[in-house]
A and B are shown apart, each in its own frame.
Chain A
Amino acid sequence: MNCDDIRRELEPYVNGELDDDAAMQVAEHLRDCGECSLRHAQMSRLAQRLKGLTDAYRPIRDFEEGIMQVKQPGARHERPQREGFWRARGWAAAAAVLALCLIGAVVVASVPALARQLPLPVGSRLGDLETTSKQAQLQNHQMQGQIDKLKIEIKDIRSKLVSVIQTSKNPLSADVNYAVQSVVMQFVEAQYAGDLKKMKSLSTPAMQAEIDAHPQDYLRDKSGQVTFAQMTDVSKSGDTYLEFVRLIDTKTFNESQYQEDFELLKVGDRYLVNVEGMDA
């Protein structure tokens, strides 16, 4: 075997995965070839460091307990630098309530459902699950009360009838609502059409750059049909217009709804998407 052949086998050699004959050939070559020998030493060191990487992270809490605590689907986390998205806290809180209520049934159902799937009776753990379930039901009940106080109306937006929930204490004008919601709707439709050009035409330069950098983050399954389940009315914080949309599609998200969160800026007389985030 020449140096190229040997180097191809170095990785399995370092990890003890070559058969005896092949390992012997590599070992003999390494004795005679300084360059391959150096590569072998470097690869061994790198392999050792990679294997040691798992010791560099310690769990804070015990997953033995965590495994029984089914988290709410809404409780997803985001990178801290995007905190600015949540400036309109009061409005966003209402929208969060909306999100949790719409998926609440899934939360409550999933806990006992999980318990039923467990291989054998889980004794006291089942009791914990039931407690969690009851807490979720109570939380849902309280949230339902808040939802009942919200005003919902059916609106015709771009020839689609959409349930719009009023979450703002001081609603913006109907014109602003229609304009912003139309842009958001067109953006979502472009996501499902795989139309990056259209998405960018509805975006600020910053968002255009973001789409160019991570197009896959913004495209949805082209074969799916999307339904606008619910939208919030438009809220404004500083110069930023905020809009939440709950969606269902016939492909990727056909079992449960999901949400897209939009932040728009007014540029001239147009409203342009400046941030789009996805939420469970």
Chain B
Amino acid sequence: MDDRFLVARARAGDDSAFAALIKAHERSLYCTALSLLRSSWEASDAVQEAFLEAYSKLQTLREPAKFRPWLARILVNICYQMLGRGRRTVPVEEVPERAAHVFIGSEESLDLMAALRSLDEEHRWVVALRYFHDLKVDEIAAIMDCPAGTVKSRLNRALEKLNARLAGTIQKEVAE
């Protein structure tokens, strides 16, 4: 369903509409957070914080059609804060919950995520925003506060590196 419609309904107090927005975007947010943060638990925390913030600030969203980049920006800020906080530990009596997400993909997907996580932070950001959130170059540039040309060159460079780090599997797939 269209984000604009869901945002309008959520703003009118329909919680099920916001739940639908969560379902539509949660995996994208999780993959982005996982590619940037240190653990799956941190990633799940970031996603939850992002949705809580989005929920409480939904009325401030000027253009409902821009919900996707708006939500991505919220997550980016949360990830920056979490990265800035340094390593974190858990009080002993807090039995770690299971991670909120389970991996159900192929071995190739695991390799791809590992390769992505090995890139420089600036390359991970652009790839995540481009491919997990399906954002345009201009939208990524606005979120990252850099020129569109920088985003384009980072994307090209990131994909080249990913291609190289996947040790020929992409080349093999293409050859087949």
Interface residues of A (CB under 8 A from B): 7-8, 10-12, 15, 17, 38, 41-43, 45-47, 49-61, 63-64, 66-67, 70-71, 74-80, 82, 85-86, 89, 92-93, 95-97, 99-100, 114, 117-123, 125, 214, 216-218, 252, 258, 261, 277-280
Q: What is the CA–CA distance of A185 and B103 in the complex, to the nearest angstrom?
A: 42
**Among A43, A59, A74, A258, residue most surrounded by chain B Cβ atoms (within 10 Å):** A59
Q: Are A59 and B27 in contact (CB under 8 A)?
A: yes
Q: How far is the CB of A51 from chain B (nearest CB, A)?
A: 5
Across-interface contacts of B85 in A (CB, < 8 A) = 252, 258, 278
Q: What is the CA–CA distance of A10 and B34 in the complex, to the nearest angstrom?
A: 27
In the complex, the 3 A-B pairs of residues with the closest C-beta atoms, listed nearest first = A56-B105, A77-B41, A96-B91
Number of residues in B with C-beta < 8 Å to the partner?
A: 75
Decide yes or no whether B113 CB sits under 8 A from chain A.
yes
Known: A63-B48, A121-B13. A53 touches B131 (CB 8 A): yes
Across-interface contacts of B155 in A (CB, < 8 A) = 11
Across-interface contacts of A70 in B (CB, < 8 A) = 52
Decide yes or no whether B101 CB sits under 8 A from chain A.
yes
Q: Are B130 and A77 in contact (CB under 8 A)?
A: no
Chain B residues numbered 141-164 whose CB sits less than 8 Å from any CB in chain A: 152-153, 155-156, 159, 162-163
Decide yes or no whether B62 CB sits under 8 A from chain A.
no
Q: Are B92 and A96 in contact (CB under 8 A)?
A: yes
Chain B residues numbered 19-77 whose CB sits less than 8 Å from any CB in chain A: 19, 22-23, 26-28, 30-31, 34, 38-39, 41-42, 45, 47-48, 51-52, 55-56, 58-59
Q: Are B99 and A45 in contact (CB under 8 A)?
A: no
Across-interface contacts of A61 in B (CB, < 8 A) = 100
Q: Are A86 and B92 in contact (CB under 8 A)?
A: yes
Across-interface contacts of A100 in B (CB, < 8 A) = 91
Across-interface contacts of B30 in A (CB, < 8 A) = 54, 57, 59
One of A45, A63, A123, A277 near B173 (C-beta < 8 A): A45
Main secondary structure of the interface of A (DSSP, over half): helix
Q: Are B174 and A42 in contact (CB under 8 A)?
A: yes
Q: Are B47 and A63 in contact (CB under 8 A)?
A: yes
Q: Are B31 and A46 in contact (CB under 8 A)?
A: no
Q: Are A277 and B100 in contact (CB under 8 A)?
A: no
Q: What is the CA–CA distance of A82 and B91 in the complex, to the nearest angstrom?
A: 12
Q: Are A261 and B89 in contact (CB under 8 A)?
A: yes
Q: What is the CA–CA distance of A121 and B89 in the complex, to the nearest angstrom?
A: 36
Q: Are B108 and A49 in contact (CB under 8 A)?
A: yes
One of A43, A71, A85 near B48 (C-beta < 8 A): A71
Shortest Cβ distance from B31 into A: residue: A54
Across-interface contacts of A75 in B (CB, < 8 A) = 90-91, 94, 97
Q: How far is the CB of A215 from chain B (nearest CB, A)?
A: 10
Q: Are A43 and B159 in contact (CB under 8 A)?
A: yes
Across-interface contacts of B131 in A (CB, < 8 A) = 47, 50-51, 53
Q: How far is the CB of A83 from chain B (nearest CB, A)?
A: 9
Q: What is the CA–CA distance of A38 and B98 in the complex, to the nearest angstrom?
A: 43
**CB pairs A–B below 8 angstroms (10 shown):** A42-B171, A53-B113, A59-B101, A60-B101, A64-B15, A76-B90, A86-B92, A93-B92, A119-B13, A258-B85
Chain B residues numbered 85-125 whose CB sits less than 8 Å from any CB in chain A: 85-94, 96-106, 108-110, 112-113, 116
One of A53, A67, A89 near B132 (C-beta < 8 A): A53
